[in-house]
Amino acid sequence: MPPSFRADQIGSLLRPASLLDARKSQDVYRDSALSPEIAEATKAAVAGAVQKQIELSIRPITSGEYERSIFYSGFFEKLEGMTTTRGLPLPDGFRKGLPVSYVLLKLGRTDSAANIATGPIRRTAPACLDAWEMLKSVTPPEHWGECKMSLPSIGWEHLQLAHGTAWAPGVYESDRAYFADLATAYRAELRALYDAGLRHVQIDDPHLCWFFVDAFVDGCHADGVNPDELFDLYVWAHNEMLRDRPTDMHIGIHLCRGNMSAFHDFTWGSYESIAEKLLTKLDYEQFYLEYEDPKRQGSFVPLRFLPPRKSVVLGIVSTKTGDLEDIDMLEARVREAAEVIAKGQGRSAEEVLKDTLAVSPQCGFASINVNAGDGVTEEKMWAKLVLLRDLARRLWKDAM
C-alpha cells in the first residue's frame, strides 16, 4: 500500500515558550491531570501549531504532542491495574543493559518511574481521546482525515523494567497473559479513536532498537533471557494489539535511537539483525525507520526484507542538529533505498518509489517537552519540515 503521506512527520514539535512556561511545574517524565491554566495554554499552543502546518502544507497534522511532557506518557497511567511507581533505583530497578538507564545516570538521575501492573489491566476509561478531541477542536473538519496521533508501544513498560517485575506477584501467570490484557486495552482505545474520526496512528517503539545493542543483548543473557525469544514475544504482543483493527485505520510503527545527544553513544548499529522479523512478522503496514546518518544506522541493505504491500517512511532529516540537509543528497538517498527494496522484491526501483516510500525526520523534534536538538530552533524546525515537503513534491507528483 502507498504510504499515508509522502512527507510525514514523527509527531512531537518544539514547544513554544508560552507552553513551557505554563508547564514548568509539571513532572517532566510523567504527566498528571492538566490544571485549567495548563489545559488552556496547551489548547492555544496546539491551535497555533495546526495553523502553521496548514499554512505550510505540512502533513500529517499533529498536536506536536503538546498535551504530553514526554512521548510515552498519557496511556499506561490511565489503565486500571497500572500503578505509576516512582523512585525505582537506577540501574537495578530496570532491565540489565538498558541504555536508557545509563543515559539517565549520565544526566544525574539516580531513580526513575515506571508503570507496574498491580492488578489485572483493564481499560475502563478513555486514555488518549481527550487529546484527539482537543486536536479536532482546533482543526478545520475538512482536515481531520489528515491528522495523526502517536501512542507508546505495547512493550514499553515490560521491556524497560527489571526482568520479572512488570507486574506484581500473583497478578499474572505469564508474559503472554499480561500482554493479552494490555492488547485488549489497546484495541479498545484504537476503536474509540477511530469512532471519533482518527484515521492515522503511529506506535512509538524505540526499544526494539536495543536488540542490536550489545549491552542490552548481554543483559538479557545475564538475566537468563533469550533475546530472540523476547523479541518474538514483543512481535506477538504488537500483532495482538493490531488484531481486528478497522481496515481504513492506518497504523505504523516508529523505531528510532532518540533525539537527545546523551543517547548518541548507545545506539549505533544496523537494523540487519532484526530486519527480517521486524519487516515480515509484524502486522504493521508502515514502518518509520531512522536513517539520517549512514555511519550511525548503516546502509539500506536490511530493507531488502520488506514485503510487497508494506511501506517505509525514511527518516533521513535529522532533528538532532539545526543544520539543513541538501535536497539533492536526500533525493539520492531515497533512490538508493528504492534500489535495495526493488532488488529484494524483484521489481523496478521506479515501482518501489511510486508505491512504497515516503520521507520524514528521523525522530520527533521534542520527545521530551524541554528537549531540543543542538542548534534546533522553531524556525529551523519548520525549515526542515518544509524541506521534506519540497523533497516529496520533487519525488512524487501526488505529494502536497
Question: How far is 389 from 7, CA to CA, in rounded Å?
Answer: 5
What pLDDT, on the 0 to 100 scale, is given for residue 266?
63
Whether 39 maps to a domain, the answer reads yes
Question: How far is 240 from 161, CA to CA, in rounded Å?
Answer: 21
Please give, one letter per residue, the 3-state secondary structure of 197-266: CCCEEEEECHHHHHHHCHHHHHHHHHCCCCHHHHHHHHHHHHHHHHCCCCCCCEEEEEECCCCCHHHCCC
Whether 3 maps to a domain, the answer reads no
**Residue pLDDT, tens place only, 250-270:** 999 999 887 766 666 667 789
Strand 111-122, strand 149-152: pairing: unpaired
Residue 194 vs residues 62, 211, 225: alpha-carbon distances, Å? 16, 32, 37
Whether 1 maps to a domain, the answer reads no
**Residue pLDDT, tens place only, 115-147:** 999 999 999 999 999 999 999 999 999 999 999
Write the CATH number for 275: 3.20.20.210
What pLDDT, on the 0 to 100 scale, is given for residue 268?
73
Q: Identify which of 165, 193, 187 has the alpha carbon closest to the alpha carbon of residue 178.
A: 165
Q: In which element (H, E) is residue 341 found? A: helix 327-345
In the chain, the amino acid numbered 382 is: W
Question: How far is 139 from 46, CA to CA, in rounded Å?
Answer: 9
What pLDDT, on the 0 to 100 scale, is given for residue 93?
96
Whether 400 maps to a domain, the answer reads no
In the chain, the amino acid numbered 301 is: V
What pLDDT, on the 0 to 100 scale, is given for residue 13?
97
Question: How far is 76 from 156, CA to CA, in rounded Å?
Answer: 9
Whether 158 maps to a domain, the answer reads yes
* Helix (H/G/I), strand (E/B), else coil: 43: helix
Whether 11 maps to a domain, the answer reads no
Q: With contact defined as beta carbons under 8 Å apart, do 11 and 40 qualify?
A: no
Question: How far is 48 from 86, CA to CA, in rounded Å?
Answer: 34
What pLDDT, on the 0 to 100 scale, is given for residue 144?
98
| pLDDT tens-digit profile, the chain (400 residues) | 689 999 999 989 999 999 999 888 766 555 666 788 888 999 999 999 999 999 999 999 999 999 998 899 989 999 999 999 999 999 999 999 998 898 889 889 999 999 999 999 999 999 999 999 999 999 999 999 999 999 999 999 999 999 999 999 999 999 999 999 999 999 999 999 999 999 999 999 999 999 999 999 999 999 999 999 999 999 999 999 999 999 999 999 999 887 766 666 667 789 999 999 999 999 999 999 999 987 777 899 999 999 999 999 999 999 999 999 999 999 999 999 999 999 999 999 999 999 999 999 999 999 888 777 888 999 999 999 999 999 999 999 877 6
What pLDDT, on the 0 to 100 scale, is given for residue 127?
94
Q: Identify which of 65, 170, 80, 159 has the alpha carbon closest to the alpha carbon of residue 114.
A: 159
Q: What residues form DSSP beta bridges with 83?
A: 116
What pLDDT, on the 0 to 100 scale, is given for residue 290?
94
Name the domain count of the chain. Answer: 1
Question: How far is 254 from 232, CA to CA, in rounded Å?
Answer: 18
Q: If you search the block for the grid coordinates 492506518, which residue do you land on?
A: 250
Whether 322 maps to a domain, the answer reads yes
Question: How far is 83 from 149, CA to CA, in rounded Å?
Answer: 24
- For the chain, how are helix, strand and coil distributed in percent, rounded to 5? 45, 15, 40
Whether 8 maps to a domain, the answer reads no
Tell me which residue range forms the domain holding 173.
Answer: 17-395
